[in-house]
Structure formats: C-alpha cells, structure tokens
Chains A and B, each alone.
Chain A
Amino acid sequence: MSPPEILVEMREVCTSLGGHWVHQNINLQVERGNLLALVGGSGAGKTTLLREMIGLQATTLGEVRLFGEGLNDGHRAARAARRRRVGFLFQQGALYSALTLFDNIAFPLREVGGLLEDEIRTLVLSKLELVELKPQHASLMPAQLSGGMIKRAALARALALEPELLLLDEPTAGLDPDRSAGFVELIRGLHASLGLTVVFVTHDLDTLSALANRVAVLAERRILAVGDLNGIRSVEHPFIQNFFRYRAAVNELPEE
C-alpha cells in the first residue's frame, strides 16, 4: 500500500501573537482518514492552529502545506478551489447574520455555481437532516436560533460541500449529551461514507474517546504528544495526566 496521503502538514510552525509566542516549533501531520482530536488547555492556541491550517491566519515562522501544496501556491481560482475542499466550523458559529438559516447553508452551494435551485433545496434539506434541524427552522435568522442550533447550523454549512477535510472548533460545546452523541455518530458516518478527514478541537472527553482515532496534545506552546488515545494517556506529563483525570467522573458519582 502506498504511504498515507498527508492532507495537512505543519513544519516548524511558530506563532507570535500580541508579543507572546503562542506556538513554537509545531510539527503536525494530518493523514487522510484521520479523526484527529486536538486537545489542550484554554488559550493554548488550538483555534489559532486550526486557522493557520487553511491560511486564515499567517504563521510567524514555518510552513503549512494543505493537500500537499503551499497555502499560497497557484492562482486565485486554484486557491479558492483548495479552500472549498475544506469545511471549517468556527468556535462561535460565524453564521451570516443577515441571511436566513437556509441561505446560510445554501451560500457555499450557490458559490459553486451551476446548481439548480431545486437541487440546492434538496441538498440543504439533507444537510439540515444530518444535523437534526427541522425544515421549518430554515427561515429563521441566526439571531433567532439557540446556541446549540447555531452550532448545528454552522456544522451544516461547513458540510454543505461535503469537503474532504473538516476542521471543527469545539463542535460539541453547547450541545446536550444526546446531541453530542448524535454528532459523533454523524461524523463517524460521514467518515465511513465519504472518507472524511476531521481535525477537531474538543474539551469533551466523551466526544474525544468516541470519535478520535488520533489525538494531539497542545501545551507549553508545542505538540506534547501525538498518537492514539491509549498511547497518549500513558504519557507521563502533568498536563496530560490532569486532563484525563476527570474522565468518567459521572460514572463515579455516588448512587442515591
């Protein structure tokens, strides 16, 4: 078998924001088929790292390669096409506040051009169904959605073009446990059927253990460890040990 295809490659990435080093010498590779969980303390620079992967934010030093190409390679059209292969779920949703939910999800589809309105409607319906939103929600404005609905709507929009690579910033924050589990199922299903590669930031250990097939720990400005969950848990580092200590706290609740 040929070596795994590398979708994202970060080489010696350093980032300085507001006079502080957020990242120093980060090396990270995301292979096709990965369900890579990016964990780290609040403010560790996870969002920043995700943004750097698709060039929303420039690295101070180092190189980022997406789908085997530099972020600025090629002409404008080629760069746009490359971006379209990636879906990005922003931490705060970032829905277009002037557009309805329907138009938000239809937006990337319309950008492609050449799709019939009827097809767009069906595709939006199927995306709404994926994230368990109802068709009657489609005419709501983002300001009229609940926090969890915003998250799911933003996910539907990120999935609209069925990208090869999905970058999710805290996808299950703000979802009830049932929906979190549903979300994990959804991503797993897409992973199986579309061969989706996912990089997701999460603080939720249940999501982490249910979804990730690889985990990267970001702390002390660098990637402390990358590997499968069991491998990571056995790493002797105070941050990692602390992080996983709280797992299964619910199971240990004293019974009434």
Chain B
Amino acid sequence: MPEQPPAERPMQTFQSPQIQFDGRQCVLTGDWILAALKPRLIRLRAWLLLHGKSTETWNLTQVRHIDTFGALILWRAWGQKPPDILLLGPQHESAFQRVRSVAGQVFPPERIDWLLPIVSIGNAALGLGSHLLDFARMLGMIVVEAARLFIEPRSIPLKEFSAALYKTGAQAMPISALVGFLIGIVLSYLSALQLRNFGADALIINILGVGIIRELGPVLVSILVAGRSGSAITAQLGVMRVTEEIDALAAMGVSVHQRLVWPKVLAMAIAMPLLVLWTSVAALAGGMLAAQMQLEIDWRFFMLSLPHVVPVQNLYIGAAKGVIFGVAIALIASHFGLRIRPNTESLSRNTTSSVVAAITAVILLDAVFAMLTRGIGVPLR
C-alpha cells in the first residue's frame, strides 16, 4: 500500500502495515495485526482483490508481527491457498497454521425447518397451555406448602414474610399516596366543572366517594404495585435462577414455593387492602381539597356527608378487590419469575410479560368484580 498513514494517535506502538509492489513481487512490512490493519482495511481489501491472486511471489520476511487476522486476510486474498512462492519467517508460520487448520471446517449448517410456520403456531398454543399448566402446578405447590406449614409451623418463613410486607406495603405508601392525592385533585376538578353546569354541586361527594373507594383506589394501587413489586418479584426469582440460587435452595431441600413464593403472596394479600384504603384516603383528600377550592364545598361538610352518600359496602368491595388483586399480582409475578431460563434475555422478557400480564389480569378481574357486585353498595334512587 503506497499510502502513508496519517499521523495518528501518538501512543501507537505498532508499525503500520505496508506493501511494496514492483509488478511481480509483493514485499510486506510492518505489523499485520488487527489494530494496525483496521484503519486501512477498505483500501487494503480493494488492493488485495486486484493483485492478490495474480501476484506470484510474496515476501513476508520483513513483517514484524502478524496475527490470525492478518494471516487470514492474506490467505483469502490468495484464494484460500498459499501463493506460488511464499517467503515466510518461521516465527510467522503459526498464524498461517491457525488459519489453514480451520480452512476446511464449517459450523454445522443451520437446519432449515420448513415446518417452522406451522410449528410456531402450534408452539404459541402450547405455550398458553404450558403457562396454564405451570400456573396450576405453582398454585398446587403453594397450597401444599401452606398445608405443610400448618403441620410444621417451625418452618413458617416469618422473616421473608415480614420483609415482603415491608417492601410491598410500607415502602409503597409514599408513592401511592402521592399518586392518589393528585388523581383525586384532577378528578374532582374536572367533575366540578361539569357539575356546576347542572347546579348539582353536592353530587361531587357521591361521585368521588363511590368512584374512588370502589373502583379507582383498588385499580390504581394494583397498577402501581404490579409495576413496583410485581416486577421486583419476577426479577428476583429470575436472577436467582441465573445465579443458580434456586438450585442451591432445592439442593438444601428448601422448597422455593414455600420460602420465596408463599410469603410474597401472603404479604400482598395483607398489604394490598391496606394500601387500597390508604390510597383511597389520599385520593379523597385530594378531591376534597379541589372541591373546596372549585365548588366551595366545605371540607367538614364533605367529611360528614361522605358516610351518608357512600354505602359502607363499597369499602368492603374495595378491600376485597385489594386482596384479590394483590394475590393475583404476586402469583403472576412468581409464575413468570419461575419460568425464567438462566439468561439475561429471558429475564428481561419475562419481567416485561409479568407486569403486562399482571395489569391485564387486574383489569379483567375488576370487570368480573363489577358484574358480580352490580347490585351491592350502589344507592339507587
């Protein structure tokens, strides 16, 4: 290559590779190593394509270093065989040896599976089946483990349970209160604008009361918790799979379901209704504030009339939803966590699926709830 390299990094410790060509013979000098070749690769390839096969004599004795890549690029230029006359120092033979020894080898060809489209449809269906099967199996294991804990109360994982309660419950309080409060303000403000048109100002208490306690509180908290704790459960189980901790537990005869899944399900069942209550209170407080400012409804009046216009059944429904949703989230998160294969790709895919599935499940369950409880707690006049 007649080109002089541009004055590059001063730290460069290699000599740039050069080719001196006199029409019949190529004399190579410098370092034929990847780092040195890289900046000149395009030009070099073009040159070699032009002269590689037609030149008979290659003198490599003045090359300082050559690595496998350097040897490979020459080897390919020569058409996968040595040129007619090759002058090579003994210290450089091993690089060519390495290239030559893998010359015939190929990776086993990837089999093209013509049935793949059909198989993948089938797999999708079976995948659903395997999810259901795994889920059922996990439920069964949890029930069995719970039963065993009755016989053997010593092995109740109290520490794990209280840690889960703290993490999913107590630590979620600030964020759920903040979100609830803000949603309450927005909801109240928007409703107030409409209600004022009809002069039905006082109805704001009914709307907010029933809407938040029965519907918005549980769903809002569930979505927050699915994103927060659901993903954490899945990721934890997944990392434990990747680092073989799950196997270590099994090797010690400790059931994963008993030690990891069961406490989380129970903790969610207890923490969620409380969180629902807490968030509903925050949302009502936000609504009350907005009503005071927008409609000049006195907060004392708001508080006093709330119990009259919102039947207490709504509170029970809200709490029941909390329990059911919480259990659903914990089960789904654990299910996906336990399905993770030991690689990071599977970990991220399952964590995403876990959150999506949990939120979808919560909304489906909410619809079921709405149908089952349509006669309860709604004052009909």
B-binding residues in A (CB < 8 A): 67-69, 74, 78, 81-82, 84-85, 96-98, 102, 112-115, 118-119, 121-123, 125-126, 129-130, 135-136, 138-139, 141-143, 161-162, 189, 192-195
Contacts and interface: CB of A to CB of B under 8 A. Distances in A.
Contacts of B110: 139
Contacts of B92: 193
Contacts of A113: 38
B242 interface: yes
Interface residues of B: mostly helix, strand, loop or mixed? helix
B76 A119 contact: yes
A240 to B, nearest CB: 35
B44 to A, nearest CB: 10
Interface centre among A68, A119, A141, A193, by most chain B C-beta atoms within 10 angstroms, is A193
Contact of A123 (B41, B68, B94, B108): B68
Contacts of B76: 118-119
Given A67-B13, A162-B67, A193-B91, A125 B343 contact: no
A129 B98 CA distance: 9
Interface of B: 9, 11, 13, 33-35, 38, 41-42, 65, 67-69, 72-73, 76, 91-92, 94-95, 98-99, 101-102, 105-108, 110, 242, 341-346
B38 A112 contact: yes
Nearest to B9: A78
A193 B95 contact: yes
Contacts of A102: 107
Nearest to B107: A135
B107 A139 contact: yes
A95 to B, nearest CB: 10
A122 B72 contact: yes
B125 to A, nearest CB: 25
A136 B95 contact: no
Contacts of B38: 112-114
B68 A135 contact: no
Nearest to B98: A126
Contact of A114 (B41, B65, B106): B41
B69 A123 contact: yes
Contacts of B98: 126, 129-130
Contacts of A125: 102, 105, 107
A84 to B, nearest CB: 7
Nearest to A78: B9
Contact of A126 (B42, B65, B99): B99
Given A143-B341, A161-B34, A193-B94, A97 B68 contact: no
A108 B327 CA distance: 45
A192 B105 CA distance: 25
Contacts of B102: 122, 125-126, 129
19 contacts: A67-B11, A81-B9, A81-B35, A84-B35, A97-B242, A98-B344, A112-B34, A118-B76, A119-B72, A119-B73, A123-B68, A125-B102, A126-B68, A126-B101, A139-B110, A141-B343, A143-B343, A161-B34, A195-B65
Contacts of B105: 125, 129, 135
B171 to A, nearest CB: 26
Contacts of A67: 11, 13
Contacts of A142: 343
Given A123-B68, A142-B343, A194-B67, 9 more contacts: A78-B9, A84-B35, A98-B345, A102-B107, A119-B69, A125-B105, A130-B98, A189-B94, A194-B65
Contacts of B42: 114
Nearest to B103: A122
A102 to B, nearest CB: 7
Contacts of A135: 105-108
A230 to B, nearest CB: 28
Contacts of B342: 97, 143
A138 B109 CA distance: 11
Contact of B11 (A78, A118, A138, A141): A78
Report, nearest first, the 8 A-B pairs whose CB atoms are least far apart.
A98-B345, A97-B343, A193-B94, A125-B102, A143-B342, A162-B67, A114-B41, A98-B344
Contacts of B341: 143
B107 A138 contact: yes
A27 to B, nearest CB: 24
Nearest to B244: A143
B173 to A, nearest CB: 32
Contacts of B34: 112, 161-162
Contacts of A119: 69, 72-73, 76
A112 B11 CA distance: 18
Nearest to A82: B11
A147 B92 CA distance: 33
B108 to A, nearest CB: 5
B99 A122 contact: yes
Contacts of A123: 68-69, 72
B339 to A, nearest CB: 14
B343 A98 contact: yes
A192 B108 CA distance: 32
A189 B38 CA distance: 25
Given A74-B11, A78-B9, A195-B65, A121 B107 contact: yes
